């Protein structure tokens, strides 16, 4: 499996200030009765975007968000907590997002996102505050150099696990790497 490689991403942000945005917010469980990965973008943040009768909410932060120009989510800490549903990064990707930046991204969500070419970026508190305070700002995520750059030239760095970074830069899922370990796996099984 492969996806579009990410080296740098320059885009406007959509800011979700809340902490602990769980995967039930990202895609409610009633949309999980699918057997495919495609087409989940319409269900992304569904209950934030639509009211009980399915009409778009006037107050939704997603109103006017153009996926072509707003590819970066900025969220409060512990983004993606809760379930292991990979439908969460699938839905965000299908909606048009390519990355989320927070001070702290939940463990399983982060792992799932990285395997689908959706970039989870964990920045320091100061950078996070500045991002939260500037919705719609244009920022650049440079995965080669592990830096987030603001329009004013200010930069923040971010750590990312080396192997996940390599997979994102190359646009590959790690299955190939694991399949190459077959001799070692066979030896372990003996």
Partner 1 sequence: MSELNSSPKSLFDKLWERHVVVEETADAPAVIYIDLHLIHEVTSPQAFSVLDGRGLKVRRPDKTFGTLDHSTPTLPANAKGELPYATPEAKIQVETLIKNCETHGIELLNLGDPRRGIVHVIGPELGLTQPGKTIVCGDSHTSTHGAFGALAFGIGTTEVGHVLATQCVLQRKPKSIRVNFDGALPDGVGAKDMALAMIAQIGADGGQGCAIEFAGEAVRNLSMDGRMTLCNMSIEAGARFGMVAPDQTTFEWLHGRDFAPKDLAWNEALADWMELKTDLGAGFDREVHVDAANIRPMITYGVSPDAAAPVDEMAPSPETDAEHHAADYMQFAAGKPFSDVAVNRVFIGSCTNSRLSDLREAAIVMRGRKVKAGVIALVVPGSEAVKRAAEAEKLHEVFLAAGAEWREPGCSMCIAMNGDSGNPGELVVSTSNRNFIGRQGKGVRTVLASPATAAASAIEGHIADPRPYLFARESA
One of 41, 67, 82, 171 touching partner 1 (CB under 8 A): 82
Q: Which of 11, 13, 25, 93 binds partner 1 (CB under 8 A)?
A: 25
Binding track, positions 130-169, relative to partner 1; x by CB under 8 A: -------------------------------xxx--x---
- Written as one string, the DSSP assignment of 147-163 is EEEETTS-EEE----HH
Report if residue 55 touches partner 1, rule: CB under 8 A. no
* Structure tokens that stand for 117 in this block: 């070419």
Q: Give the pair of three-digit tokens for residue 46.
A: 């569904």
Closest CA to 120 of 140, 106, 135, 134: 106
Alpha-helix residue ranges (DSSP H) falling in 58-151: 87-95, 107-114, 125-132
Structural tokens at position 157: 């760095």
Of 12, 22, 61, 96, which lies in the binding site for partner 1, with binding defined by CB under 8 A? 22
Contacts of residue 129, Cβ cutoff 8 Å, sequence gap at least 6: none
Instruction: List residues near partner 1 by CB under 8 A.
Output: 1, 17-20, 22, 24-25, 28-30, 32-37, 47, 52, 76-78, 81-86, 104, 106-108, 111-112, 115-116, 161-163, 166, 173-175, 177-179, 181-182, 184-185, 188-189
């Amino acid at each position: 499996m492969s996806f579009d490689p990410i080296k740098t991403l320059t885009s406007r942000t959509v800011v979700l200030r809340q902490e602990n945005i769980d995967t039930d917010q990202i895609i409610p469980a009633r949309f999980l009765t699918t057997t495919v990965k495609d087409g989940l973008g319409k269900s992304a943040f569904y209950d934030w975007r639509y009211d009980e009768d399915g009409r778009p909410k006037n107050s939704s932060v997603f109103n006017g968000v153009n996926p072509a120009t707003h590819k970066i989510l900025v969220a409060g800490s512990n983004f993606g907590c809760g379930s292991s549903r990979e439908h969460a990064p699938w839905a965000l990707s299908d909606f048009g997002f390519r990355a989320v930046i927070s001070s702290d991204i939940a463990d399983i969500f982060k792992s799932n996102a990285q395997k689908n070419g959706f970039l989870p970026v964990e920045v320091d508190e100061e950078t996070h505050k500045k991002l939260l305070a500037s919705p719609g700002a244009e920022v650049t995520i440079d995965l080669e150099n592990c830096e987030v750059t603001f329009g004013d030239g200010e930069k923040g760095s971010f750590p990312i696990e080396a192997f996940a970074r390599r997979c994102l830069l190359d646009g590959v899922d790690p299955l190939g790497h694991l399949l190459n370990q077959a001799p070692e796996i066979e030896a372990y099984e003996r």
